[in-house]
Amino acid sequence: MQYTLGDSVRYIDDFLIYYAIALALFAAFTLIYTWITPHREFVLIRSGNVAAAISMGGAMIGFSLPLSAALEYSVNLADMVLFAVVATVVQLATFFIARALLPGLPQSIEQGNVAKAIFSAALAIAVGQLNAAALVY
């Protein structure tokens, strides 16, 4: 079967709706994550704290992996939002697991401890990848 430009353009409204909602979900996750964590990520990042940028970046990637899988595999918008909520809960739980494994993690990030930030980011990304892989129908 041959597709034309018209075939692609016909679905641009669906793309825009899904993409806009995905961006809103990403923003909501970022806000929730920064509210839950005891350190102020964006203040630290603005001041040049590399550890905060690594840790926050890992959480954002860890969330975006299952969100992108939900975009790809969901059967409707409600389904996508549901799995985005699950991904949010999983990433928040991952942060608390990292805190349990690395006592004083928030303070270490505030102090610029890159080793702990990398571990935290790697854990968030790994868990996010597993979460994404589990979203197959």
The letter for the amino acid at 58 is: G
The reported pTM is 0.91
137, pLDDT greater than 80 = no
DSSP 59: H
**What pLDDT, in 10s, does the model give residues 49-92?**
999 999 999 999 999 999 999 999 999 999 999 999 999 999 99
DSSP 38: S
CA atoms within 13 A on the CB side of 6: 1
Residue 92 contacts residue 27 (beta carbons within 8 Å): no
